[in-house]
Amino acid sequence: MGRIRVDLFASLDGVAQAPGGPQEDAQGGFRFGGWQAPLFDEMVGEWVDANLRGLDALLLGRRTYDIFAGYWPHVTDGPDDGIAALFNRVPKYVASRNPDVVLHWQRSSLLGPDLASEIRRLRQRHERVHVIGSLNLFQTLMAERLFDELALCVYPLVLGQGKRVFEPGEIASRLHLVAPAETSPKGAVQLRYALAEGVPTTGDMTQPDRGE
């Protein structure tokens, strides 16, 4: 049975909108597009390469798909050509509310409206499916518990505006750390979580420990 992994980059206040460039996503008047670039260092690059190792399919939201389709097919040389070759080679599955979407990137397929059923089929067909960016899709995957692991790279800045990894109204969930946190020279921290069963529990820190 294959696994669904989500890869996201976020600020300390949880903003994950448009990390890659100014034109990536200016929706809502977002003015910090490309915030990740000044803090991207060699170690973050190593994390990205390691995280993509073994990937055999991409699962993307429509906006992220359009960004990727406009960039990766045209990368032929330079430090990103290995990722480009991988992304161009593997199947791409796109979640969209518009059934009339036309997909031009090679090996791209539009998923049907029943996302849970589609995810089950992807698990049967692929070993490692990665969701990259695609915040709206992630909200759905989170609400429906349709992913296995979240790799969250948190950067040392506060943006104060923009789309967040966890939006208000998100269904309460528990996660657990599956690997030690790693820190890059420029202060990025990689955290890897898996979904845990149940919802958050509570206690009372004002009460003495009855075990003493």
Name the residue ranges covered by the structural domains of the chain. 3-196
Interhelix angle 81-89/42-52, rounded to 10 degrees, is 20
Contact 142, 170 (CB under 8 A): yes
Write the CATH number of the domain with boundaries 3-196: 3.40.430.10
d(CA 158, CA 149): 25
DSSP 119-172: HHHHHHH-SEEEEES-HHHHHHHHHHT--SEEEEEEES----SS-BSS-TTPPP
Token code pair at residue 60: 């993307």
Structure confidence at residue 209 (pLDDT): 67
d(CA 191, CA 198): 21
Structure confidence at residue 172 (pLDDT): 86
- Angle of CA points 161, 165, 171, to nearest 5°: 120
Contact 1, 127 (CB under 8 A): no
Segment-wise mean pLDDT, segments of 10 residues, the chain, 212 residues: 94 95 90 95 93 93 93 82 92 91 93 92 96 92 92 96 87 91 96 90 79 53
Contact 151, 6 (CB under 8 A): yes
Structure confidence at residue 29 (pLDDT): 93
Structure confidence at residue 199 (pLDDT): 85
Residue 50's contacts (CB-CB under 8 Å, 6 or more residues apart) are none
Helices (H), the chain: 42-52, 62-71, 81-89, 115-125, 135-144
Q: What pTM was estimated for this model as a whole?
A: 0.89
d(CA 55, CA 153): 18
Please choose, from the candidates 8, 4, 1, 16, the residue with its C-alpha nearest in 3D space to the C-alpha of residue 191. 8
Token code pair at residue 142: 């989170």
